[in-house]
Amino acid sequence: MGNGSGVRARLGRAVLVFSFAASVALAPAGVTLAGGRGEVRKQTELSMLVVGQIVIERDGKVHEYVLDDAAKLPPIVPQLLDKATGHWQFDPIVIDGKSIRARTAMSVRLVAKPLDDGRFDVRVAAANFGKPAEGEFLTSREPLKPPTYPQAAARSGVGGTVYVVVRVGRDGKVEDAMAEQVNLRVVDTEGGMKRWRGMMADAALDRARTWTFVPPTKGEEVDEPFWLARVPIDFLLHEQKPTEPGKWEAYIPGPRESAPWLGGMDASLGADAVAGSGIFPVKGGPRLLSPLDGGG
């Protein structure tokens, strides 16, 4: 959304958290971060988001997975996912009292951290398993209006992603909202990073509190007293574009926040656990019983 300064905020892409590590050499060409603050810069992560589908068998084991844009992805992606998915065990999906084979959306975030020898430690750092096509969840009658880009952030070239969680009442209005995590694409002092995160979180939450949703009319969610959903918001400068499939992006991950009304949500599930623009349920997807890294 433009605000007169050539910048826009966009309801954006976004990813649960597990870790299988492998040391590999990467060539993250073209990755730059503004500014230079030593201790903060050490927090930099290179990240790649991959999306696709996963088939869960009746016994909860993974039958197969398929990735979008597979030809554009580096070899490390299937290497890591083959290792992890081979050990994943889900709670069987039951419909009308019977376990079924289910195909559902999957998004996975890989994270690469630099090592002292110039190589990178790469792990499957996050993933989201979408809800099988059964029943309904929250929708919106029209596209959710994005927030106004903070002018101070725009002038300073600060961009990032805010992962908003909304609590929606039975009338479709937002009862409460929080910024669960804010990842920035700049480097500043610790105090500066906190200021930028707060600025973007405030802008996102001011807008989120004005949104209205359409509650489900059928399915297992219909009688809930409220619904929780994540909505990722990208703040992109006018010259910036979403990262292409198979490309690494650099950012400084923000701290994970929580709220009492989240109801003790599993802390192992990452705030940035969704991919693509839209409205994503906080609960309700296939439940992974085994460790996220695929270990025992």
Q: What percent of the chain has pLDDT over 90?
A: 31
Would you state the pLDDT for residue 4? 37
What is the reported pLDDT for 19? 38
In contact, 200 and 181? CB cutoff 8 Å: no
75 closest CA partner among 86, 85, 67? 67
pLDDT at 67: 94
> What are the distances in angstroms from CA 78 to CA 97, 98, 219, 270?
34, 32, 35, 21
What is residue 188's predicted lDDT score, i.e. its pLDDT? 84
In sequence order, which ranges of 2-95 are alpha helices (DSSP H)?
A: 38-41, 76-85
Name residues whose C-beta falls within 8 Å of residue 223's C-beta, 6 or more positions apart in sequence: none
Token pair for 217: 């009319």
pLDDT (tens digit per residue) in 117-150? 777 888 888 777 876 545 578 888 888 999 999 9
Predicted confidence at residue 59, as pLDDT, reads: 95
> First vs last Cα of the chain: how many Å apart?
46
CB neighbours of 203 closer than 8 A, spacing ≥ 6? Answer: 9, 147, 148, 149, 150, 235
Q: Are 248 and 47 in contact (CB under 8 A)?
A: yes
- For residue 168, the SS3 value is strand
pLDDT computed for residue 290 by the predictor: 85
pLDDT tier for residue 81 given thresholds of 50, 70 and 90: very high
pTM: 0.77
Task: Give the pLDDT confidence of 2-34 residue by residue, as tens digits.
Answer: 333 334 465 543 222 333 445 555 544 444 455
Q: How many CB atoms lie within 10 A of CB 33?
A: 17
Amino acid 280: pLDDT: 79
> Tell me, what's the pLDDT at 30?
43
Give the total residue count for the chain: 296
Above 90 in pLDDT, residue 201? yes
Please, what is the average pLDDT of the chain? Answer: 79
